[in-house]
Amino acid sequence: MKKFSKEEIDKFIDLLDFSKIEGGLVPVIAQDYQTNEILMLAFANEASIRQSLETRIACYYSRSRKTLWKKGETSGHIQEIQHVFVDCYKDTILFKVKQKVAACHTGYFSCFHREYVNGEFIIHGEKIFDPDEVYKK
Amino acid sequence: MKKFSKEEIDKFIDLLDFSKIEGGLVPVIAQDYQTNEILMLAFANEASIRQSLETRIACYYSRSRKTLWKKGETSGHIQEIQHVFVDCYKDTILFKVKQKVAACHTGYFSCFHREYVNGEFIIHGEKIFDPDEVYKK
């Protein structure tokens, strides 16, 4: 997978609108590049987008830890970026990714595995890994 | 399509985490319920989520106009909500919708029709409608 050049990354960053969310963030949707299943939504700042495009491995910004967050750093469940899209306002990014193992920290492939039906949550899909094993100290 | 009851809506609202984005907002992804194509990302506050679930027609919160925004009110390009998902942190919503005509105000089916490749945007899909005709005064 071809890496983005410094010039291409600079141009991309310049086009984005970071003004709408406090802290200069944009939402990023990660979607399975083959099935179109949505895996997660996270936020990114300029530095995390630069890292994502330089490495082709998804990197976000953790609002709780206030640091760059290379997805899968602990678990190994990284996301290889296959395609980069922006929306019409250039304030939201879509990464189409090849997800290793699973995206959700609870063990499911997608973070959006709960559907709200008749006042209850129905779980879609199976638990792929045991979080206690993967995130043990 | 079965409407959500007042009790079901209250319970759903209580479960959501509105604390992470200024103004008590949560991101909402709209996805085509059949193809899984992502149509758009918008934000919602409590009132817009209540209206979406009561009517099964997607309603968001416009950050620029600071009002509820019933998607398609001018254009008729409404989104009929087929499924409601939340993510593992309950701070992001996913609506799987039946989109009338097209989601994007520029005339494309999806707001994410621009892919960033080799320093340029490649347009995916065709223009379905002429914005000058649909949004004329």
Percent above pLDDT 90 for chain A: 95
Give the separation between CA A86 and CA A11, rounded to whole angstroms: 13
SS3 A40: strand
Residue A137: is its pLDDT beyond 70? no
- Position A2: which residue type? K
Q: Which residue has the tokens 């509820």?
A: B68
Cβ of A114 and B86 within 8 Å?
A: yes
CA distances in angstroms from B128 to A120, B52, B109, listed in the order given: 38, 25, 7
Rounded to whole angstroms, the Cα distance separating A136 from A81 reads 27
ipTM score of complex: 0.97
Q: Is A47 on the interface with B (CB under 8 A)?
A: no
Distance from CA of A68 to the nearest CA of B (A): 17
Say if strands A79-86 and A120-123 run parallel, antiparallel, or are unpaired.
Answer: unpaired
What's the rounded mean pLDDT across residues A87-115? Answer: 98
pLDDT value, residue B137: 60
Q: Alpha-carbon distance B28 to B31, whole Å?
A: 10
Mean pLDDT throughout A93-122?
A: 97
- The H or E element that residue A118 is part of is none
**pLDDT higher than 70, residue A29:** yes
- Residue A32 tokens read as 């399975």
pLDDT digits (tens, 9 = 90+) for A38-69: 999 999 999 999 999 999 999 999 999 999 99
- Number of helices followed by number of strands (H, E) in chain B: 3, 8
Rounded to a whole number of angstroms, the distance from the CA of B133 to the nearest CA of chain A is 19
Stretch B3-18: mean pLDDT: 97
